[in-house]
Every structure is written in C-alpha cells, then in structure tokens.
Chains A and B, each alone.
Chain A
Amino acid sequence: MKIFLSLALAAFSLQAAETAPFPVLPSLPPAVLPEGYTVQTIAPPKGVAFSVTGLDCGADGSVWVCTREGAVWRLKSGTWSLFADGLQEPCGLLLDRKDGQETGAVFVAQKPELTELRDSDGDGLADEHRCVYQTVTSGNYHEFHYGPVRDAVGNFYGTLNLAHTNAGAAFQPQFTVHGVFMGSFPGSFRGTAYKAAADGKNFEPVAWGLRSPCGVGMMADGKLLYTENQGDYMPDSFLAVVEKGQFYGHPSGLLNHPDYQGKKLESFSDQEWAAKRVPPAVWIIHDELANSPGEPREDLTGGKFGPFAGQIFIGDQTKSNLMRCTLQQVKGQWQGCCIDFINHFRSGVVRNAFAADGALWVGETGRGWGSVGDLPFGLERVTWDGKTVPFCIKDIKLEKGGFRISFTKPVDPASLDVSKIGVRRWTYNFTHAYGSPHVEQKTVPAEGLQIAADGHSLFFSAELVKRRVYHLSLPALRSVEGKPLSVNHGYYTLNETLD
C-alpha cells in the first residue's frame, strides 16, 4: 500500500512538470553552464519581432516585456497577451509598485519621455499613456533612454545615450568634442544619468560623461549602478556606482553642464578629461568578457538562485553571456570583481530580472549590432535546482597585500601550488580614441599561497599597483571531489590598495 502511494505521487509530479507554465522552444544549452542550472528558451509571441529591451516580473508570476519594436507584452499562465504598442523604441520597463504592491500601471522608457501605461477600462490593453516626464531627443537614432529604476521614496532614475554621428544629415549631432562617433545637442542632457521625483517633476542630471549607458540598476541599499559600453573616450566597458555630480569620461554631453557654460570644450586635452573622470568600479574586459554590457541586476532572491545572493548579474549584447560582479569599497573608491557565469545564450543579453520564484529571466536582442547566438532575439529563463552546488569562484576581494578568492565548495589543496596561479595586470590609454589596448600589461608572480582550513577560500599576495585591472586564473584548481571550476578565472579592478 505504501509503495503504491509513492508511485502515484511520482506520476503526479511528472505530469505537473510536463505542463510547465511557459511555452518553450527546443533548448540549446550554453557551453558554460554551472552545475545545477538550467536554461529554458521561452517561445515569444507568434509572428512578431521580439527584441527584448525591458523586463520585469510580477508577484503573480507574470513576466512583462517591452520590445525595441515598441510593444509591451505580458506572459501569464503560459499565454502571451499584448498590453501596449506603438511605443518609441522603449529600452526599459518597470512595474509600478506602492508599498511593495503592484498598482497595475507600467512604466516604459520611450526615447522622448517616461510613460505610464494604464488599463483604465479593464480590457487588458493599456488605453492611458501618460507622459511622466520628457527626455529631450533630437530624433537621432542612438538617443536611447534606459531605465527607469526607483529608490525607496519613489524617485525615478535613468540614463540618456549620446547621439551617433552616423545617422544621416537630418540628425547630425552638433557637438562631438573630438569623439569619433558620439555627440549631443544643446539642451538635451544627453550622456547623463538623471533623477526625477515620483510625480515626474524636478528632472535633473545627477552624473555626467556617459556614452552608451545601456544598463541601469538600483541596489537594495540605494546604490545607483550603470554599465558603459567601450567606445570613444571609453577605453573599455565597465560597471560604475553612480555618484552625484561625477564625470564618467565622455565630454560630448557636458554641453549643458553648468560649470562649462561659455567654455570651449574642444580646448581641453585628453589628459585634462582623463584627470576629471571618476574610475569605474569594475572594468568589463573587451573581447575577454563582454563588448556591450547591459542591465546590472542584484540577486535579492536570498539563495533561491544559488550561492550568489547579493551579487550583481550583468549580460552582454555582443557575446550573449551573463556575468557576476561584486563591489568592494576601499578608501572611498568603489572597485570589485567580474566573473563569467553562463556563456552563451541564444541572442544578445541586454536585460535580466529575477522572478519571485528565484528564476532569472534574460531578455535578448542582437538587432543592429550583432550578437553571438542562433536567434535574432529571445527570452530565456535560468533556474537553479535548489540543491546542486556548482564549483565556482564565488568572489574575489582585495585584502592587504593580495587577493582572497572564495569558492562555492571546498577546494582540494593538493591540486594547487602558487606557481599554478596566473596573475596578469594592465591599464588603459584614456583618450578620445575608440577603445584602448591593454597598456603596461604584464604577468606578475603570485606568492605566499594560503588555503583556508575549511577549503572555501584562498589568499595569495602579488605586487599591487593602483588603477590596474588584475586577471587571476586558477586552471589547476580542483574541488575536493576532483572537479574543475566552472569558470577558472576572474577579473578584479584595483583602484585603491589597503594599507
């Protein structure tokens, strides 16, 4: 009797799995996928281009998507339904929440404004489109509007892309400050991160010098994050903590900065601009890690997504991968690490959002710039099985004189000696050129390896130089079960050292 019962239960749970609430396409598992993780490719609505540029998850399990083609779609109980269309290339979507409860309204970042969409007559379609605030645009195709994110009191934050010079005569930016491609227009606040009050009033730039800030994030503790794409004045891509009034590198958007009124921005040298810029927290290495990073999203699942709670997940549009970053503040400067995590998805990853069940939804598009993968756009869902701990570098932190690398599982001390640790470091040229090669790149020896008694971390010292990126690799390392790391290397941006 007992046996019969358990068999019946097993049959029931199998059936439940077969009627999973998401329409899926045949899967194509990524080459780099940590143990215990599964990627499902979600079938988009039929017959539409579906370049996902905004993503949020509702408390009821629904998933909301905005597309670059101008639509807002909702996936609920396995069925797609259209909520709005005709929007101007929205590059961000956020469900409205008051005291943690969804109100039913949806915010989308259209090129010329932030818009609140509401279904006032209950027919399932947004009929009311309310302009919350304007974001001045010239019509130049590259003037993307990313966001919004909100702080604890409901203020909105977003970022405004510079205009592109390869846009046809009607939309030529008036001002490029020696930039190869990116410029701006008077009165536009292009190249800024901005803030606006919950009622849409008091729109103001809060940080300057942004170029292609495709990702905006707000951490639970109120830190505003943004990701930058390598390009003119940007030697490499990066993740930055946005601090009020700071300059992040590209002068084209300073046209409307109060301190530069009446000044000729072209008269400043590359060295002068370089001296004004705040160092980014985490460099994201071109070709090695990512070329066009997107949304930074903090893992607030409390462990439902695996052993990386509190870390920042960032996707890349070019390489279609997903990375993990952590931050560390040293002498007032933000710095931290970046480690590849899943590589690669079916199309370019620009957005990601956690659902209440701990799954990470990944929004993808390769249109216009190209991306790795077999699909032109996509939506994928990453889940952790809740039990299998993959063998990964969990984190890299600076300690006095060296680095501490921690792991998700205990390591086999016999698999590693200090001669098998690779340490490479470099810096960049800070000029108006498009990207920078690695400068002063050299391999330095690791010394004084100490593996913690519990096997969960190790420390080694190395010659530490400020304002360098360090690449740390551990190809020889094995877990106590003899397994290699899922990704055996990581990057640490060292802005400041500990005394």
Chain B
Amino acid sequence: MVDNDGLHPDTQTVRGEAELSAGGHDFELRYMEGGGGKSLKIAWSGPLSSGWLTEAPPVTNLVLVSNRARAFRGNLKGQTSARMIAFGLPGGVNCAYDAEHGSFPLAWHGDFIDAAGSRLDRGQNYNLPLGPQVEALVAGPLLRLSRADAAAPEFLGYKLAGAQVVLHLKLGGARCDQTLEALPGRGLKVRTVFLDPVPGELTVPEGKSGSRKLAAAEAADFTLELPF
C-alpha cells in the first residue's frame, strides 16, 4: 500500500490509499535502519478526520472558553510575530496580542483555539483560531506615543481577571494596564489606565483604520470600543 524503501531522511514521506470496511483492521509495517538518527513515522487519515493523525486522539486539542478568560501562547495562523498571546473571553470574543509590536492582528467571534499545531508530533504547525472569520482588531499598535521615534509598548505580562484580561505594559517608561472586556457579538472594550505619569500625547485608533490624537491629560484613563 505504501512503499518508502531505501535510505532517506524522515522528511521523505509516501502516501497510499485503501478502501476499508467499518471496524478494526490490522496492518503490517516493515522497516530498516541505516545510519543517522532513528525515526519511523506513520500517520493515517480517514473521511471523518480533519488531517493526518499520528496517535490515537484520546484528548481534545481544542482550547475552549467557558466562564473565565483564558490565554493561549503559540504560533497562530495569521500571526505577525513569534510572540503571540491569544485571549479567549467568555461570550465568544477572542483576540490575539502581538507582544512584539503591541498590536492585535487577530480577532474573531466563536470558539477559541485548535491547538493541534503545537500539541501533535513535534509541534511544527500553526495553531488555528476557530472563528469563521478572523480579522485584525485594529491596524497597527493599539497604544503608541505620537512622537516619531515611539517604540511599541514593552510587554510585562498579563492577568487573567475573571471574565477579563489585564495586559501589563510599559510605554515610554510609564507602566499601564490595559483591560480587555468582551462585547459579545460586537467586539472588544479596551480600557487603558496609566500607573505612572502619561509620557506624552498618544495616537489611538479610531474606527477600523483611522486614528486620532489623545492629549496626555486625557490619556491617564481612557476607554476604546473596538468593533469587529
């Protein structure tokens, strides 16, 4: 059914197909080992499987949200850096924060994450946001200083606070907390509170792709509603 004889690396894979009746079936696997690392892999797929399986699936790789906010870190399809943190909020509101650039390149409604990309085999594949439609929450960074040399906020951590998530950030040397709250079916409410004096005028998103200036005096505690 499958012939992958000879000396070759484990990246060389061969496929075969067979029509099987319902129920259990035995198969025979013959292999040889030459030099180098030892490796033998077998995977199967059927009409009801979502991809190639390498082990019996006793556990789900779906990460789902019930009544409290969850986080998930790992490579995500559509990511803009390797430092993505996805947040799933109760009410089916999800987003992914790019801790490298301070942006939210992914937002979606519905279920949270399919983590099979990280959790099967060596974990080489992307994890998948489960929403039917995945879009950017805003274009570019959510929080930035207006001055030309402004850098992305430094990521200090996050708190899973019941149904909400609080991002701990540092912008221009000033610490601030950014609270993410679900607006089920509508989008995300983001409240930003500076714990240190606001370091200058901010540029914040307005609508899907616009922006506006926010004077330092107004920026100490401000809330944005971001529809998606």
Tell me the residues in window 330-383 of chain A with beta carbons closer than 8 Å to chain B beta carbons: 367-370, 376
**Are B124 and A141 in contact, CB atoms less than 8 angstroms apart?**
yes
**Are A129 and B157 in contact, CB atoms less than 8 angstroms apart?**
yes
A-B interface pairs (CB < 8 A), number: 95
Interface of B is mostly: loop
**Are A86 and B119 in contact, CB atoms less than 8 angstroms apart?**
no
**Are A141 and B73 in contact, CB atoms less than 8 angstroms apart?**
no
Question: Is the CB of A443 closer than 8 A to any CB of chain B?
Answer: no
Return the contact of B74 from the options A49, A89, A166 (Cβ within 8 A). A89
**Are A110 and B124 in contact, CB atoms less than 8 angstroms apart?**
no
Question: Is the CB of A482 closer than 8 A to any CB of chain B?
Answer: no
**Are A127 and B122 in contact, CB atoms less than 8 angstroms apart?**
no
A137-B82, A168-B124 given as contacts; is B157 within 8 A of A70 (CB)?
no
Question: Is the CB of A88 closer than 8 A to any CB of chain B?
Answer: yes
Total interface residues on A, using CB and 8 Å?
43
Total interface residues on B, using CB and 8 Å?
38
Report the stretch among B15-23, B31-39, B133-141, B193-201 that lies at the interface: B31-39
Residues from chain A with Cβ under 8 Å of B86 in the complex: 86
**Are B159 and A129 in contact, CB atoms less than 8 angstroms apart?**
yes
Residues from chain B with Cβ under 8 Å of A435 in the complex: 36-37
**Are B73 and A70 in contact, CB atoms less than 8 angstroms apart?**
yes
- A367 to B125 Cα, complex, angstroms: 15
Closest CB-CB distance, A99 to chain B, in whole Å? 25
- A88 to B84 Cα, complex, angstroms: 10
- Per-position contact with A for B42-74: 1 when CB-CB < 8 Å, else 0? 000000000000010011000100000011111
Q: Which residue of B lies closest to A50 (CB)?
A: B59
Closest CB-CB distance, A107 to chain B, in whole Å? 13
- A139 to B124 Cα, complex, angstroms: 9
Question: Is the CB of A80 closer than 8 A to any CB of chain B?
Answer: no
Tell me the residues in window 57-109 of chain A with beta carbons closer than 8 Å to chain B beta carbons: 68-70, 85-89
- Per-position contact with B for A37-71: 1 when CB-CB < 8 Å, else 0? 00000000001110000000000000000001110
- A458 to B125 Cα, complex, angstroms: 54
Closest CB-CB distance, A379 to chain B, in whole Å? 16
Q: Which residue of A lies closest to B11 (CB)?
A: A166
Residues from chain B with Cβ under 8 Å of A69 in the complex: 115, 118-119
Question: Is the CB of B75 closer than 8 A to any CB of chain A?
Answer: yes
Residues from chain A with Cβ under 8 Å of B73 in the complex: 70, 86-88, 110-112
Q: Which residue of A lies closest to B117 (CB)?
A: A141
B residues bordering A, Cβ < 8 Å? Answer: 11, 36-40, 55, 58-59, 63, 70-75, 79, 81-83, 86, 99, 115, 118-119, 121-125, 155-161, 168
Q: Which 8 A-B pairs have the closest CB atoms?
A: A139-B82, A368-B122, A88-B73, A130-B157, A86-B71, A86-B72, A141-B124, A127-B160
